Structures are given as structure tokens and as C-alpha cells.
Structure 1
Amino acid sequence: MDQPEHTTMIAPTFSWYDYLIFSGMLTVSVIIGIYFGCFGSKQSTANEYLMGSKKMHVFPIAMSLVASHISGVTLLGVPADVYKFGAAYWLCVFALIIVSFVTIFVYLPVLYQAQITSVYEYLEKRFDQKTRVFSSFLFAVSQILFLPVVIYIPALAFAAATGINLHLVTPVICAVCIFYTTIGGLKAVVWTDTLQFTVTLGAVTTVLVLGIKATGGFSNVWQKAVDGKRLDFFDFEFDVTRSDNFWAAFIGLTFLWISQTNTSQSCVQKLLSVPTLKDAKFATIYYGIGMILVKTASVLIGLVIYARYSICDPFETHKIIRKDQLLPFYVLDVAGKVPGLSGLFIAGVFSAGLSTLSAHLNCLSGTIYEDFVSKLIPKDITERTKSNILKLIVVICGAICTLLVFLFERLGGILPLVISFQGLTGGPLLGMFTLGILSRRANSKGAFYGGIFGITGLACLVIPAKYLQSQGMMHIPAKPISTDGCNFNFTKIYSNQTIENDGLLKLFKISYYYYTLLGFFFTMIFGLIVSYCTKEDERTLHENLLSPVIQRKGVRNENNYNTVENALNLVTYNSDKL
């Protein structure tokens, strides 16, 4: 099939069909929030607002988990990353299988039995309050850094498709999300996530099918990907500075998502909102399957885009200047004349962003309330007052994240940036939880100072690396590109001179995929050393605070009153023995 000509930047092509589809999705999301916030129980208690009264069903919880993790970072960032660096990211499907097994058999049984509102409450039960507060602080920081990126990417796509100023788009869309999250609580988040995931799936599927057809079929896409070295993901060379080989994607993403699934409030909160542990395990399985499908589709879209522009790169020809503009540019190029399709795509991208934003705002409010605000207010306040405080926290956090969006406009490389942010806090958090769940000897001093060492050591690596990259002194080597098929002249722009393996700089070139693993390793090693050099905690270590894989069989925890049901069962058990 002949390569299509690309001589000018595609103009915005949003029609009234597109606006209708886009506004319809936002309207339904608001209606869902109003329904759960103004009818029925009206989310009047903290338990219902944060946990859905533990009566949520498995399927919507699983879909909400997938939707909240499929943000614009996935829909826009992954295809652009595949286009420039190859399809090594697809190895995440193997990582997700391991993540599901580890979650179900190691972490989830402990967290579910603890019956906690904030996942960081576990660290207080296992260690002490100081460790819990530190972990909650790390989570809050990670969310404040992550959510502006989540907002910015779909706003960028909408601005590109409609021509509306980005600064006008962002506040309006964020206000809609903050509104339904504030009044509707977890139930509104879960059901809007389910709706938005459906829209997102429709957009991804449509773009993928249309793209394959436009590039001459799947066999043509595959052959161009092979010729362009985009499928060299089974490269087993062990080089920690590379991000496009097997070890970086497989090992790095495994640790990243184990951390995100088991130590992030946004994920654990939903898994604990179903009635039984069995339901939570099924939700984890469905979540893993959904993630595999969406990640695979995103990688395929990246390959389809490469097949179309393999001989006339839009970056080199200055049609786009940011990686994250690649997919909107492609959709407008291929499907701009199909009524409604651009609207469906932008609605899908925004749906992904809104679902992530709403889920993280809801859990961020729960963490801030449980671990900070509740310590400063009277204990005898009413449940309605607690619910109102939670809603106020959502509004404040949402406003802060909206303002921070404008600080992220000038940042490039969204996928590496997000993985770096998540690894910076996720690695130490995973280390602290693992010390508690898989080590009997770990004590509160070891967990706390291990976490401090983990975040400090990793920050000393990540911050200089990002600075050197921002100054053009280091870069991530990209796959080969071509402009041989372009039929017009253009001026090539060369980047600043880069410094390659020059002494200490090689340390800062470690791939961002390994950041979570390094933070985990630093925390575990230092935490165990401190634990063995200090005396054990005085409090009794209950078996239910340890993973089933290391629990001692036949050992019974006396006075285990984690829930009213456990207390009643224990009383009944002791009465039967008399």
C-alpha cells in the first residue's frame, strides 16, 4: 500500500456530532454523582462514602480498577512511547500475571482481614503510628505529583481536536469530575468509572480497527514494525541504562504494579469494598485481565501509528513537537472526516483521565482524613460531619491539582515522568509493607528508617537524572526513524549535545523502569539491618498481620478484635469450650 502524503498539520475537525458525544459522556457522569449524592442514603457516613458500605459488586469494582489505571498516560503515552522506543512495554502483560498471583496469595489476605479504611492503617497495626503517618505522607505526595499529569494529557488532546485554549478546557472538565466525586463518593466513582471505561474501550477499539484498515491490514503493520526494529522486545541483554529490553519492562513493571496494587489507597480501597475475600480475589483476576487487554491494545495502536508514519516522521517534519500529541494527530489524520469518531476518541481519552482523577481524589481524601485530619478534630463528631469533611478535602485537593496542571505544560516524556514519580514513592512503600507482611523480625524502627533511607537514596538518583535530562545532557536512545517518504523540504532541528557514559553520569542513566525496584531494595535492606540491630517491638505480633505464606499453622491470635464480627466469633468460640 502506498504511503499517504502528509504535508500540513491537520486542522481541528470537531463537528456538532463530536461535541454531542463528548458532552453526553460528561452529562451522564454528573447524573450518576447526583443520584448517589442526593438520593437513597446520600453518602451520609464516612464508611459509605469511602467503602460503599462494603456492598459493592465484583464486576463494577474490577472495571473501576481498570478504568482508574487506564488514564491518558496509557492511551496517549504508551502509543507514543512504542512509536519512538519500540514495543518492549508489551512485556507488562507477563508482569500483570505475576502481580495478580502475588496480590491474591501474599498481600490481599492480610489487608482484607485487617478491615481497614486506609491501607496505611495496616502499618500502624503492624508497627506504629509514626510509620503509618510517614507512609500516608508519601502517598499524598505521589498523588499531588501524579494527578496534574492525568488531567493535562486529555486536556491537551481536546485542545488539539477543537482548537479551544487548553487553559479554558482544564478547569471546566476538572470541575465536573470534582463535582460528581465530591457528592457521590465511592459508589459514584465506581459506576462512572464503569461507564467511562466502556467509552474508553469503544474509542480504543475503533481507532485500532480503523488504523489497521488504513495501513493496509495487520500483516503490513507487523512487517513495518519488524523492519523498523519496533518488535525487538525479547532482547535479553542486561543493561540497566536501557528501557527497551526484556529486563527493564518485565522486572521494572512487575515491581511497579505490585506496589500500585497493594500499597496504593486508590486500589486497595476498592478491593476492600466488596463483601468477601473471595470476591476481592475475583476482582483482582478481572482487573488483571482487563489491564492486559487495554495495555495490549495501546501497544498495537503505537505499532499502527508507526506503520503509517514509518517513512515520514511527524516529529522530524515539525508537524508535532511533543510525543503526547502523536495519537490525537493520528486520529485527526485518519478519521477526521468520519462524523462523531473524533468526539468518541476524545471522550474516551477524557473518560480515562476522569476515571483516574475521580478514583484518586476519593482515596486521597480518605487517606488525608484518616491519617491527618481525624487526629485534629473531636472524636465525637457525627458521621454526616465526617462525610462533609471528606467532601471538602476532595474539593481542595482537586483545586490544587487543577492549578498544578499549568506547571506541567512544559514537561516532556509523560510516560517516563509518571513511572519515575510512581517509583519514587512506590518503591519505599512496597518495601515498608513487605517488611511487615513477610518478615517476623522487622520492627517499627526498621520499617520507618528503612522507608526514610529508601526515599532519600532514590531521590538522590531520580532528581539529578531528571535535571540532566531537562538540560539536554542525557537522553533515551530512540529507535530509527525516516523522512525518506516526505515530499517536501523541511529544516531539521538538532538537540543539545548529549553526554554519554562519562564517569558518574552513568549512574544517573539507570532506566526509570528500575526506580520502584531500587526504592524497594534500599528500604528492605536498610530496614532489615536496623531491625536486627535494635530490639524487637514490645507489642505482640499477631499471625493475621503476616502473609499466609509465612503464617505458623495452628497458632491462634487471642484478643483479635479487628472487627465486631471477629470479636463475636471469638466470644462464641470461647463459650463453646466452657
Structure 2
Amino acid sequence: MILSNLPLLMTGAFLLFTLAAGLYFSKKTTSLKEYAVGNKNFATATLVATVLATAFGGGGLIRNVEQVHQQGLYWIFFALFATAISIWILSPLASRMSSFMRNLSMAETIGNVYGRIPRVITAISSIITAIASVAIQIKVISLAISMCTDMVDPSIMTIIVTLVLIFYSTFGGIRAVTYTDALQFITFLAVIPVLAWLMFQKIELSIGDIVAFLKTQEKFQLSNVFSLNTSLINIIVLILAGIVSEIRPSTIQRIYMASSPIQAKRAFIYSSILSFFIIMFITLVGIAIFVIGPDLPMEDVWKYIMNNLAPFFKGLVCISLLSLTMSTADSELNSCVVLIAHDIVESIRGKQIVTSNGLGLVRVTSLIVGLSAMVLTFYCKGLLELMQLSFALSIPVITAPFILAVFGFRGASTTALLGMVTGTVTIIAWNTWVAPKTNIDGSFFCMLANGIAMMVAHYSRPQRRYRMDERG
């Protein structure tokens, strides 16, 4: 009886330890700035841990293993390149953000350059994306618990886990989120290589035989993968969208948390190197399952993994999935609350929330956002479709204005609004007419349309100097 309940006991112990760590590292927060970015005195190693914990979600682990099994080399190239490069690309951005280091959010940076309305639009787009992201992680929590034990109703445990992360994120702010992220990062960093090793132990073949077998499979043949077809175009476009996907509020917030652009740049360089090895072990899990069962339906991949693990290792995998989901969800939740309180409410009121008087609003907002995401889990689709949906909600709208702003572009508010409208209209048109016929993701192309529209609007009319102190 104890052995069969071991995964549940391990999960409960991990949740209690996480809650205790979150409360321990929570100190009395006296301002919105401290809630959002702390005291900017985090060690580089801590920033690396929270960057990776935010970037790797539970949905990513489950989706990557399933898609490697389903798509082979196509998805391996996407996972390896998109993940590592998407984190690395933030290092040159961070090195140019010295004038924005006192900001609390990505929306504030856009507002400093383009004005109040683009700032609010950025905040709204980011909030919708963040709620969707938290909902994905909550869905994975439910899936992880249902795979690990049938002794407890998964919906009850899902509510408990969600309330735990809402609690320490709400009352501890970014300090609690960062240090619990570090704990969760260490957990899944240790477990994922073990999972890959365990799956390869199930294969009764030598490495040479495994390679020979993969060469006979069409989806693992380089000649087939690199032949010009719709699948190749789709994965290339998806890689391009994935590369810019980490230019989002929760990740950019890690730049504002750094003591300087130099520290932020180093953190993202180290994170990109580590991310390459993490994703490599995740893809090895998918390869191992494919070799074991090449005809296994995609929806049964994780059922097979969990059914072929001893209770102790089953508990470790469940803890790893919880670590991935909670570390991403709490970061998204924190950034979402800052966007609401700092960017939308302050823009409407016309004055800053600088003291603890505004923290009541922050904490109520955090609770509402977390519970809203939990409700949204009932309407979630497949994890791949949800990833593409999150791309469509943010990349075409806010990515181009932010990149241009960081690299010195200074345009009027109407210029940014034109670009955002262009990105929104083109992604709606793409998903209505192009995507259903080609299955090609249009987020990257629509981001380019946004940037081109801004450049054309700016340089096609008489120039004037735009100073940052003129922006709302």
C-alpha cells in the first residue's frame, strides 16, 4: 500500500517543501517595484535558474516528447534550435537596455518610447497570453497528477497545487518566485537526464542498432526531412517564431531584475548553453519511446512512460512535471499582475502605485488571474495548438515594437499603433485563410509585417526628434 502511494506522498512532500521555501524567501514587500523586480541584487546563478525555470514549462516537456515521437527530426531541429537561440537572442537585447533598466515591465518600456496607448495595448496582449500560458501549465498539472496516481481525484490535487503557487506568488512577489524557481529548476534538471537514462534502459539494443533502426525510419532520414515540402516550410517558420517567442514579459522581466545590462547578458548566455543540454535530454526521451514503440499513438506516449516506471521514479517524474509547470506559471502570474497594476491601472489613473497601499490591489489581482487561468483549463485544446495560439496572441503585436525600441528606433505613438494593428489584422487573416490550407504558422511573418509597417509609416513623413521624456 505504501509503495503504491509513494508517488502521491512524494508529490505532497514536494508541494509542502515548495510552499515552505516560498514563505521563507518571502519578506515584507513594501512597494510595487519590490514586488515586480525585487532589490536587483540577485546572483547571476539565481537569474540563470529563474530564466530557465520560466522558459521550460510542463507543457514543453510533454509536448516535446510527444512531437519527437510523432515528427522525428523535424521536431528535434525545432526543439534544439528554437529553444537555445530564443534564450540566447535576449543577451544582445539586454546589453542595449541600459536606459530601460529602471522599468518594471515590457509594456512600460514600450510606453516610454511610443506613449500610453501602445503601452496599454502591450499590457492587454501580454495579459491574455500570460493567462493562456498559466492555463496550459495548470492543465499539465492535472495530467501529471492523473498519470502518477489514481488514489486522489486529479481535479482536487490540481486546485491544491494551483492555490499553492498563487499563494506564494501573491504574497512573496518576485523574490519568492525567483527562489522557488531556483529550487524547481534544480529538481527538473536532476530528474530529466534520469528519465532519459531509464527509457534507454528499456531498449534491448546497442547504440549502433538504435542508430541503424532510426536510419530506416522515414521521419528520421535527413534526405527526407530536408526535401522541399510543406512540412519543411512549416517547421522552419515555426523555428523562426520560436526564436522570438521568449521576447515576452515574464522573460524580459528577468532583465529588469538584473543589477546591470552586463549581468543580464551573462545570465542569458549561460541560460542558452544550459537549455541546449536540457532539451537534448528531453529529445532523447522521445527517441527512446519511438524506438520502443514506433507505432504507439501520440496520446499514449506518456501513459507508456509512466506505466513502465517504478513507483519511486514515477514520483520523481511527477515532481519534475510539477516543478516545470509551477516555475513557469508563477513567473507568468507575477508578470501578469505587474502588467495590470503597473501598466493598465497606472495608465488609467495617471499616477504611479509606489507604496504598499497599492499592494492590496496587486494581491487581489493575482488571485483573480490565477483562478481565471484555472477556469480556462476546461477550454484548453492540444498543447501544440495552444503553443501556436500563444505565439499568435503576442508575437505579431508586441515583439517588433519592442525590438525596434531597444535598438534605438524612436517613433510616434501612431507609428506603433499602425504596426500593432497591422500585426493583428495580418495574423487574423493568416489564421482564417492561409493556415487552414497550409498548416503553416504565420506569427513570424505577421511580426515582420508589423515592423515594416512601422518603418514605412515613420520614414515616409517629415522627421522630428522624439525624446523619451516626451512619452507617456
Normalised to the residue count of structure 2, the TM-score between the two structures is 0.90
Q: Does 2:308 match 1:334?
A: yes
**3-state SS of the aligned residue for 2:42?**
coil
Aligned to 2:448: 521
Q: Counterparts in 2 of 1:336-485, with a 5 A limit?
A: 338-376=310-348, 379=351, 383-408=355-380, 411-412=381-382, 414-438=383-407, 440=409, 442-462=411-431, 464=432
Larger mean CA deviation between 349-358 and 434-443 belongs to: 434-443
Q: 1:200 aligns with which of 188, 193, 205?
A: 188
Q: Measure, in 2, the Cα distance between the counterparts of 1:161 and 1:391.
A: 32
Q: Offset at 1:387? A: 2.8
**1:121-168: per-residue Cα shift (whole Å, max 9, x none)?**
122222211111111111111112222112102311211331243332
> C-alpha displacement at 1:99, in angstroms?
4.0
Is the contact made by 1:111 and 1:119 (CA closer than 8 Å) also made in structure 2?
no
Q: Residue 365 of structure 1 aligns to which amino acid in structure 2?
A: V
Per the alignment, residue 272 of structure 2 pairs with 288
For residues 77-104 of structure 1, give each alpha carbon's deviation from its aligned partner in whole angstroms, at most 9, with x where no partner exists.
1110111111322224344554455432
Query: CA separation in 2, counterparts of 1:233 and 1:67?
Result: 32
Given residue 448 of structure 1, which amino acid in structure 2 is its aligned partner? L
Amino acid at match of 2:136: V
Find out whether 1:189 has 2:177 as its counterpart: yes
- Structure 1: how far apart are the matches of 2:48 and 2:235? 24
Q: Which amino acid is 1:227 matched to?
A: T
Deviation at 1:183, TM superposition (A): 1.4
1:230 to 2:219 alignment: yes
Correspondences of 1:118-133 after superposition (within 5 Å): 118-133=105-120
| Aligned counterparts of 1:280 and 1:32: Cα–Cα separation in 2 | 25
Once the two structures are TM-superposed, the CA of residue 507 in structure 1 deviates from its matched residue by 5.3
Give 1:33 shift.
1.8
CA distance in 2 between counterparts of 1:342 and 1:98 reads 32
Q: Is the 8 A contact 2:396 2:447 kept in 1?
A: yes
- Return the alpha-carbon distance in structure 2 between the equivalents of residues 66 and 433 of structure 1: 22
In the alignment, structure 2 segments of 5+ residues that lack a partner are none
Q: Does residue 62 of the first structure (1) align with residue 48 of the second (2)?
A: yes
Q: In the alignment, is residue 48 of structure 1 matched against residue 45 of structure 2?
A: no
1:509-534 residue CA offsets vs partner (Å, 9 max, x unmatched): 3445x433112122122222322344
- What is the rounded CA distance, in whole Å, between the counterparts of 1:381 and 1:68 in structure 2? 26
Contact 1:424/1:459 (<8 A) preserved:
no
Distance 1:14 1:360, change over 3 A: farther
CA contact (8 A) 2:169 2:333 kept: yes
Q: Which residue of 2 aligns with 1:3?
A: none
Q: Is 1:508 aligned to 2:427, yes or no?
A: no
In structure 2, the partner of 1:308 is: 292
Q: Which of 33, 37, 53 is the matching residue for 2:22? A: 33
- After superposition, the C-alpha distances for 1:335-384 in whole angstroms (9 at most, x for unaligned) are 1xx23111111111111011110010011111111111224558486622
> Secondary structure of the equivalent of 1:457?
helix
Decide whether aligned partners of structure 1 residues 283 and 126 sit closer, same or farther in structure 2, where only a CA change above 3 A counts. same
Shift in Å, 1:17: 2.4
CA distance in 2, matches of 1:380, 1:186: 19
- Where 1:55 maps in the other structure, the secondary structure is coil
Q: Percent identity?
A: 20
Deviations 1:396-430 (A, max 9, x none): 1001001111122xx23x12431332234223311
Question: Which runs of no fewer than 5 residues in structure 1 stay unpaired?
Answer: 1-11, 316-322, 465-504, 543-558, 561-578
How far does residue 259 in structure 1 lie from its aligned partner after superposition? 3.9
Q: Which has the higher contact order (CA 8 A, sep 6+)?
A: 2
Alignment correspondent of 2:260: 276
Matched AA of 2:110: L
Aligned residue identity for 2:287: L
Amino acid at match of 1:343: G
Please name the residue that 2:137 is paired with.
150
2:67 paired residue among 78, 81, 87: 81
Q: Distance in 1 between matches of 2:312 and 2:136?
A: 27
Relative to the length of structure 1, the TM-score reads 0.75
Q: Compared with structure 1, are the counterparts of its residues 148 and 209 closer, same or farther at alpha carbon in structure 2 (3 Å cutoff)?
A: same
2:174 maps to amino acid: L
Question: Does the Cα contact within 8 Å between 2:435 and 2:442 map onto a contact in 1?
Answer: no
| CA contact 2:133–2:332 (8 Å) conserved in 1 | no
Deviations 1:453-503 (A, max 9, x none): 1112102222x3xxxxxxxxxxxxxxxxxxxxxxxxxxxxxxxxxxxxxxx
Q: 1:209 aligns with which of 192, 197, 201?
A: 197
Contact (CA 8 Å) 1:76, 1:324: kept in 2 or not? no
